[in-house]
Amino acid sequence: MATIAANTSANAAETVRAHIRHGRHTTVTTGLAPGILQANLVILPADWADEFGAFCAANPKPCPLMAQSEAGDPTLPALGHDIDVRTDLPRYRIFHDGVQTSEETSISALWRDDLVAFALGCSYSFEAALLDAGVPIRHIEQGKKVCTYRTGIDTVPAGRLHGKMVVSMRNFTTPNAIRAIEITSRFPSVHGAPIHFGDPSAIGIVDIDKPEFGGEPDIRPGETPLFWACGVTPQSVIEAVKPPFCITHKAGHMLITDRLNEEFRAS
């Protein structure tokens, strides 16, 4: 995929998407189609859609809503001309009554006329901006997944939806922590500035060395952990609320759009 990754045009995004659609790429999308917006995915039955839209509006930092489909329509034309959410992500999680029942590389066989797809902004966009500014990101340097944690912070409820916020963590020297806050605050629609830095217990993280996803973090003396609201939050909500049916992306296995990260930089 190196050749594809070097090309930042929407054309490259389309090519990567086609690879994924045809099952030729089934792992994480980290680093694919640099400069291109990637998105988190949540699919719910129509009778949950209004509440989920309201939940996103009430929780814009973990759930920055980029696009929402019509019921039964698997396309998201606002994000890409040929997107089909049934096939265009490398890996999906299937939930029944809040419990993951399987993991799939396509959901075509599971699609229904009453399903509504939601695409949410993703931290890959601000990670690209950090790297462009020369702010190093340890887990990327080490080829690892980002560490994410379930916090004790309650999201703002909407209808039947409620649950704890999930955060992603990146650690920096103090000057780079300041730069990271500056830079990510320019991307309010892809999680924006961190919600916390420093003491993990202040947001209910008991052991920073034990993330829910990702390996053990490598935080060195003098470095500070920064915590960003994470687009995996809806998966924690689904587990708490137990709707009869739900499909999400698997963490790190994102929807690649035709949109540019730079479109989402605030003026």
Confirm or reject binding of residue 174 to a copy of itself (CB under 8 A): yes
Confirm or reject binding of residue 194 to a copy of itself (CB under 8 A): yes
**Three-state SS for 70?**
coil
Q: Please, which residue, 184 or 235, has the CB nearer to a copy of itself?
A: 184
# chain residues binding a copy of itself, by CB under 8 A: 18
Site track for a copy of itself across 51-70, x = CB under 8 A: --------------------
Confirm or reject binding of residue 134 to a copy of itself (CB under 8 A): no
Gap between the Cα atoms of 119 and 109, Å rounded: 20
Confirm or reject binding of residue 221 to a copy of itself (CB under 8 A): no
Q: Which of 224, 239, 260, 265 binds a copy of itself (CB under 8 A)?
A: 224
Gap between the Cα atoms of 139 and 145, Å rounded: 6
Q: Please, which residue, 126 or 197, has the CB nearer to a copy of itself?
A: 197
Gap between the Cα atoms of 186 and 95, Å rounded: 34
Given a contact cutoff of 8 angstroms between Cβ atoms, the answer to whether 10 and 255 are in contact is no
Confirm or reject binding of residue 152 to a copy of itself (CB under 8 A): no
Confirm or reject binding of residue 121 to a copy of itself (CB under 8 A): no
Shortest gap between Cβ of 196 and a copy of itself (angstroms)? 6
Kindly list the distances between the CA atom of residue 43 and the CA atoms of 59, 125, 236, in Å, as whole numbers in the listed order.
Answer: 17, 22, 14
Helices and strands counted in the chain (H then E): 7, 11
Going by their DSSP bridges, the two strands 196-197 and 224-229 should be labelled as: antiparallel
The amino acid occupying position 231 is: G
Binding residues (CB under 8 A) for a copy of itself: these are: 174-175, 177-179, 181-182, 185, 193-198, 202, 222, 224, 267
